[in-house]
Amino acid sequence: MEERLRVLREAASRGFEVLEGGGSALDAVVEAVVVMEDSGLLNAGVGSALTFDGVAELDAGVMSGDGLLGAVAAVRRVKNPVVLARRVAELTDHVLLVGEGAERLAEALGLLVPEGVLVTPEKLRRLEELKARWRRGEDFGWLTRLRRLVEEYPGLFGTVGAAAVDRAGGVAAATSTGGYWLKMRGRVGDTPIPGAGFYAAKGVGACSATGIGEAIIRFMLCRRVCDLIALGLDAQSAADEAVRRMSEELGRGLAGVAAVDAAGRVGFAFNTEVMLVGYARRGKVEAKLLGAPQSL
């Protein structure tokens, strides 16, 4: 756990350095997510989970308050899908590219890596262990009750993301994931879906989500958070209220969010057992494991 917290501190610190150097909120969130994708300790980039048949299919999305929006889904051999998502926003007329089409763009941009970078012998061994547990009926009771696995396998879901506000008041969010272990090939969750896994609104704030993507899509969690900020709530109050409403509508054990409002206030909320968070503000860098709030 301490290694994961170290990665979060580094990600927050690197993102803050970008802002301190005059970079945009979008620059900062992409830099922070790249750190987490490269760590191999979180379920994104190099550390991504594998599908049931042993491939890595990664998703990512980025959005800034000034309208830049891009995402990729089900990409293989791309260790930094958040960078590719930004390129989709900057270089194409599209919002979301998937599979082979997204990989063709990645190849043109020099972003492809050998498949062995993402599908390692260690991951394949872990996949076989999880499949064996599934066959014995010990886990994954498929896939109707994944929630109880979160505590036992901290890296099982573990989507990474970041939200930031820059000196000019610009906001941005970025999210990246490998999905969850034993997913079907071609499954896409909330991460590349604007309003679900990530969202940013000019003059309002930005939000990134993690958890069980199917539920996050149904609730459009990040858009809900930003809409609440637009109504006058600060980032923490908006995050708390959105997750509370999600719990009432869909149940507990589903998701967590990290948010920032245009005033620079941060907020974290979740209805899972735990959530790892990190942030940097006014030069102070923090990373911690949060326990489930009792009020939700």
Q: Which residues are catalytic?
A: 159
Note whether 11 and 36 are within 8 A (CB): yes
Strands 96-98 and 69-75: parallel
Q: Which residues pair with 292 in a beta bridge?
A: none
Report the distance separating Cα 98 and Cα 188, nearest Å: 10
Tokens 């610190």: give the residue: 13
Report the distance separating Cα 95 and Cα 93, nearest Å: 7
The contacts of residue 100 (CB under 8 Å, 6+ apart) are: none
Report the distance separating Cα 249 and Cα 104, nearest Å: 40
Note whether 55 and 23 are within 8 A (CB): no
3-state DSSP helix/strand/coil % of the chain, to nearest 5: 40, 25, 35
In order, the DSSP letters of 164-195 are EE-TTS-EEEEEEE---TTBPTT---STTSBT
Report the distance separating Cα 212 and Cα 255, nearest Å: 6
Axis-axis angle for helices 2-20, 25-39 (nearest 10): 150
